[in-house]
């Protein structure tokens, strides 16, 4: 399994968060991958997940070493490289129509707060849990809020052949400290997708707090 480092989607999505080292829209971090092996269903999807988190571990180690060079051992030793246990990640299949559902805006108030014609709404009961894909892209913690047309455009670029034939899995988020921030408040999500028409994988992660 190989992470794709250069793709037209990366160029497009960069405008949503030009300062990020990752490929992000809203609070969704996108990773594209390809594999030399034939698609083996859930086994392949788990391999894609593993490849992404192995890279995240490497990045966290590099961040620690940069901090050591810049600020010294005291600060660097307080930073802990990312950990995960991929065997604990549990998947659930998702229907493409449900996953890519996008509500419309009902109203926007003077302060920029937005109301949608959606059954799901953020409240005290679902903070720190999984949020819908549309919410993670359109309602980040801080910064630019995206509109339904942004949601559709991002996915049109990401899945140019449509979304009907995608294999989508939602994964639990109790197997890596990557998701700790999201569990604290905003939400934590992990999705993997295999696009049969392009023979490639997409791993999407969310973990954010205030």
DSSP structure string for 85-148: -GGG--EEEE-HHHHT--PPEEEE-TT--EEES-S----TTTTTS---HHHHHH--SSSPPPPH
**Average pLDDT for 175-180:** 95
SS3 168: strand
pLDDT value at residue 77: 62
pLDDT tens-digit map of 42-79 = 999 999 999 999 999 998 777 667 667 777 766 666 66
The Cα diameter of the chain in Å comes to: 53
**Average pLDDT for 147-174:** 96
**Average pLDDT for 132-146:** 90
pLDDT band at 203 (very low <50, low <70, confident <90, very high): very high
**Cα(8)–Cα(16) distance, rounded to whole angstroms?**
14
**Cα(116)–Cα(45) distance, rounded to whole angstroms?**
32
pLDDT value at residue 193: 98
- Considering only CA atoms, which of 2, 5, 12 is closest in space to residue 155? 12
Phi, psi of 133 (to 5 degrees): -55, -45
**Cα(208)–Cα(27) distance, rounded to whole angstroms?**
7
**Average pLDDT for 75-99:** 88
pLDDT value at residue 128: 86
- CB burial readout 190-209, b (16+ within 10 A) else e: bbbbbbeeeebbbbbbbbbe
pLDDT value at residue 111: 80
**Cα(166)–Cα(155) distance, rounded to whole angstroms?**
12
185 DSSP assignment: T
- pTM score of the predicted model: 0.92
Per cent of the chain over pLDDT 70 is 94
CA angle, 164 then 98 then 40, to 5°: 50
Which range, of 47-56, 124-133, 172-181, averages the lowest pLDDT? 124-133
For residues 84 and 53, the answer to whether their CB atoms sit within 8 Å is yes
Which conformational region is residue 192 in: left (phi greater than 0), alpha (psi within -120 to 50 degrees), or beta?
beta
Which range, of 3-7, 49-53, 110-114, 200-204, averages the lowest pLDDT? 110-114
**Average pLDDT for 186-202:** 97
pLDDT value at residue 35: 96
Q: Look at the chain and count its residues.
A: 210
**Average pLDDT for 146-166:** 95
pLDDT band at 87 (very low <50, low <70, confident <90, very high): very high
- Considering only CA atoms, which of 138, 136, 160, 159 is closest in space to residue 149? 138
Long-range CB contacts (< 8 A, 24+ apart) of 58-66? none
């Amino acid at each position: 399994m190989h992470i794709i480092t250069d793709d037209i989607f990366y160029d497009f999505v960069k405008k949503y968060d030009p300062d990020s080292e990752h490929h992000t829209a809203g609070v969704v971090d996108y990773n594209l991958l390809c594999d030399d092996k034939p698609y083996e269903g859930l086994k392949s999807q788990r391999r894609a997940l593993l490849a992404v988190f192995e890279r995240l571990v490497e990045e966290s180690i590099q961040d620690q070493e940069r901090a050591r060079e810049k600020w010294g051992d005291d600060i660097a030793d307080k930073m802990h490289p990312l950990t995960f246990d991929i065997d604990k990640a549990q998947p659930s299949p998702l229907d493409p129509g449900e996953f890519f559902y996008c509500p419309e805006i009902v109203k926007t108030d003077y302060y920029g707060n937005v109301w949608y014609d959606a059954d799901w709404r953020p409240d005290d009961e679902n903070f720190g849990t999984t949020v819908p894909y549309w919410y993670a892209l359109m309602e980040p913690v801080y910064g630019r809020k995206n509109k339904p047309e942004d949601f559709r455009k991002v996915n049109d670029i990401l899945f140019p052949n449509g979304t009907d034939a995608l294999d989508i899995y939602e994964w639990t988020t109790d197997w890596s400290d990557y998701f700790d921030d999201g569990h604290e408040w905003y939400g934590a999500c992990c999705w993997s997708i295999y696009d049969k028409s392009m023979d490639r994988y997409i791993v999407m992660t969310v973990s954010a707090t205030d």
